[in-house]
């Protein structure tokens, strides 16, 4: 994929919108598993997913969805191993963009990020709890 940052900034639709146009949309689950999860077996110079992804009208949106959400398997014509080579700051840039544009799927956050979010919520809850007890200690009681 040879796109510039400006081209990549073209507004992306949500997955529910672009996935309807996917070239792989009518493949049954078993065949999709064989074609788009290529870690098993010997690597091929002409893997079966190329036939679908190379002609897919939503290849770019599929690719950016996958890097932003750390998907597994082939998305946008790239394998998980290929996407793992993408620098983290590039991924974070597009995650911020996804949040701004409304196509970030919170439920798909990585486990590590989910744990960070939980830790942040606990810290906030603790601050609020302590704030309540502090306020209770300085405000006059009803008695
Ligand atoms: S780029 Fe490939 S994996 Fe993505 S929707 Fe198109 S055919 Fe499916």
Annotate 26-91 with DSSP letters as a single string: TS-HHHHHHHH-TTSS---SS-THHHHHTT-TTHHHHHHHHHHHT--S-BTTB-HHHHTTS-HHHH
Q: Kindly state if the Cβ of 77 falls inside 6 Å of ligand 1.
A: yes
Q: Kindly state if the Cβ of 67 falls inside 6 Å of ligand 1.
A: no
Q: Can you read off the two tokens belonging to residue 126?
A: 């603790």
Q: Are 80 and 139 in a shared domain?
A: no
Which are the contacts of 79, defined by CB distance < 8 A and separation ≥ 6?
38, 39, 73
Q: Kindly state if the Cβ of 48 falls inside 6 Å of ligand 1.
A: no
Structure confidence at residue 126 (pLDDT) = 67
Q: How many domains does the chain have?
A: 2
Q: Are 77 and 119 in a shared domain?
A: no
Q: Are 12 and 38 in a shared domain?
A: yes
Q: Ligand 1 pocket test: pick from 77, 79, 83 the residue with the most ligand atoms within 8 Å of its Cβ.
A: 77
Q: Are 25 and 82 in a shared domain?
A: yes
- Tell me the pTM: 0.71
Q: Are 41 and 95 in a shared domain?
A: yes
Q: Are 39 and 77 in a shared domain?
A: yes
Q: Are 71 and 100 in a shared domain?
A: yes
- For residue 114, give its domain range: 109-143
Q: Per-residue pLDDT for the chain (143 aa), expressed as one digit of tens each? A: 444 545 556 789 999 999 999 999 999 999 999 899 876 666 788 899 999 999 999 999 999 999 999 999 999 999 999 999 999 999 999 999 999 999 999 877 656 666 665 666 666 666 667 777 767 777 777 66
Compute CA 21 distance to the chain's CA centroid, rounded to the nearest angstrom.
Answer: 19
């Amino acid at each position: 994929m040879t796109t510039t940052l400006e081209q990549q900034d073209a507004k992306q639709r949500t997955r529910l919108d672009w996935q309807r146009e996917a070239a792989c949309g009518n493949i049954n689950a078993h065949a999709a598993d064989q074609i788009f999860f290529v870690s098993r077996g010997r690597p091929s110079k002409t893997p079966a997913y190329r036939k679908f992804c190379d002609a897919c009208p939503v290849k770019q949106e599929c690719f950016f969805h996958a890097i932003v959400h750390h998907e597994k398997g082939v998305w946008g014509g790239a394998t998980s191993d290929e996407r793992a080579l993408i620098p983290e700051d590039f991924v974070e840039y597009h995650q911020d963009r996804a949040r701004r544009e409304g196509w970030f799927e919170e439920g798909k956050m990585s486990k590590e990020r989910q744990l960070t979010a939980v830790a942040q919520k606990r810290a906030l809850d603790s601050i609020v709890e302590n704030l309540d007890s502090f306020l209770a200690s300085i405000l006059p009681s009803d008695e």
